[in-house]
Structure 1
Amino acid sequence: MSHTPQIKIPATYMRGGTSKGVFFRLEDLPASAQQPGAARDRLLQRVIGSPDPYAKHTDGMGGATSSTSKCVIISPSSKPDHDVDYLYGQVSIDIDFVDWSGNCGNLSTGAGAFALHAGYVDPARVPQNGICEVRIWQANINKTIIAHVPVTDGQVQETGDFELDGVTFPAAEIVLEFIDPADEGEGEGGGAMFPTGNLVDTLDVPGVGALQATMITAGIPTVFVNAVDIGYTGAELQPVINDDNAALIKLEAIRVAGALRMGLIKAPEEALKRQHTPKVVFVAPPQDYVSSGNKQIHAADIDLNARAMSMGKLHHAMMGTASVAIATAAAVPGTLVNLAAGGGQRDAVRFGHPSGTLRVGAAVSQVDGQWTVTKAVMSRSARILMEGWVRVPGDAF
């Protein structure tokens, strides 16, 4: 019996924000995987260890959570005035597909640092000591992200004293700017930031009932609902939701109803192949709670509480893209997020999430009766965990 040997592919295992994933240079991938398609998807699935009916990722690099089942492909940018193109794949844990429908805001931090590590940024623009501005083209959603990456002695500075709730150890701060982060081209609103044209809609959810909802496309398509309307306080930690199958079914029903209303899918069954978007976030006014890391969060220190679903589970912290959506919606008077934060106008918001708190800024304006967001800003960190090669069976893709 003949056996196909494994092949070696250069790769970097990297944390970005509260996520981690396997990073590749496009030119290092096998020829058949350098283009979108089945071969690329199969390769990334085998790297991660999916689909895994045991939901453990024992035979791959994934961590069996939505935050750790990710792959990134970086290449020299095809766009003027950009350094790199950044393509993100969310690999399903137990279902046979890779979702390319959105961005990962956390790994956007890693994309900026990786661009420097890989030598994709013009050396003339890299300071010996200081901050390097890396211009990233986010190829999933066709948007610009600017990463302000610290450099020491000509190399990416990875260690530092910046602390990020949801990440165990401190590291160097990387500031991210998401330029014009509202998605375009999807939904009944023709690319509008609020695709239904309303700040608040009544969303009819089968098996749940009619809910007030704010649906927005900034950062990532997101459906916001009030925690109290679905039986929660907004201060829940992961076990309360993730160990309750009825809760997961209810929240997925809200996601499917929102996807239909936003025009992201045409039939409910299509949601199975679009798990990454939209996100569902339930919000509530600020209240005291103890984080998953046993940190006391005081209501006086936050503007609101927010809990987000990612790939069918409550996220352990907050996705970067959903953070953009929260900050943008909070800045627009009258949305559910804005009302949870006390109403009025604001250019930044600090919200509580299961692991702690996060502050995100957003600049919004109203043009010809429509709200737009020009920029969202947040701080994250990134660090290489391992680099070398991943190995996959040669007949796996």
Structure 2
Amino acid sequence: NYTGSSSGTLVIAKATATVTLGSLSQTYNGAAKSSTATTSPAGLIVDFTYDGLAIQPINAGSYAVVGTINDINYTGSSSGTLVIAKATATVTLGSLSQTYNGAARSATAATSPADLTVSFTYNGSSTLPVDADTYAVVATISDANYQGSASGSLEIAKAPATVQLAGLSQAYDGNSKSVSATTVPAGLSVSITYNGSSTQPSASGSYAIIASVTDNNYTGSASGTLVISNDLVVTASESLALPNTTTTYDSLLNDGTLAFGAGTVNVTGNATNHGVLRLTGDAVLNVSGTFTNTGVIDIINWSGTLPPSLVNTGTILDRSAIRVTSTQASATTFTLSVPSYAGHLYQLETKTDLTAAWQPLGPTVAGTGTAANPPALLFTPPLDGPRRFYRVVVTPAP
């Protein structure tokens, strides 16, 4: 008796499934990296996005991962972070031993894998060092996908410098003697020792010299021997009067004028006189070697004795050289002449009675001549009184 119908839609909703993400911590190796997922119920298909993209990442970094179930009967998703860590690379330092040249110095580094960018620090600074020294080097890889570092020491050695000594032969004069040194490159500071001491010597002898460069960036040294000779050498243009002391010399060579009037001169070797050697007073001359004279030895005012080793081919002026060479008288004056030798003073003296004291008459006159050609020195005193005595006194010139 009845009929009817009805229509509708039966909706069977997808069941909720759980998604658990895995493989979220990986290390770069140049290949694409993907997360994994397990589902409950198991075996459901899961689609992944990485920072919103379906492309699997390669480079090291952090990526937002969403895993979504792709199934007709289940739904579900899970989110997380995929971290691709930098791969470890090895760093091998090089050029750690270098020599100063005034330019900045840098270490080198080789990496495995090859050709990765490396940044360096030297004692904690990125500034390249210049001066000779030892620097702590840290080399760190600067790369998106690799990490690694190495440490070592960069040694910048001092550069070699040359040292040249001068003044190694000097004459004794009682003062301290020093050696000089020049360097290449020029102007470097040099310390000098004498027989191991920094004290400069003054006594005659031989001294071992070591000159060492004292510089932050250069090293070098030179050695030699300083000889302080006590040879007495008088050049042709010199005139020397020795002090009234006792002095010892290795040798004597006189080409000029050498005089001494007191004290003692000892010559342990040979003595040679080519100039004028003037001995006066109580001076003593001892020569252990051969005493050769080709010049003039003036002993007019000397009371000593010449060394027995004398070989004389020159001139010796003794007291016999002082003599009256001529006289002449007139009604009012009397003239006498004597040879005039340089280095001596001439004083005319007179008295009227042999028992009286001699008295100077007129000024003292300095001699001017040489041994080879002495000029005549004329004295012309007045004649007064019935009689008068005259003499010429010769003394050393000061």
TM-score, normalised to structure 2, is 0.21
Q: TM-score, normalised by structure 1?
A: 0.21
More strand by share: 2
Query: Higher relative CO (CA 8 A, sep ≥ 6), structure 1 or 2?
Result: 1
Higher Rg: 2
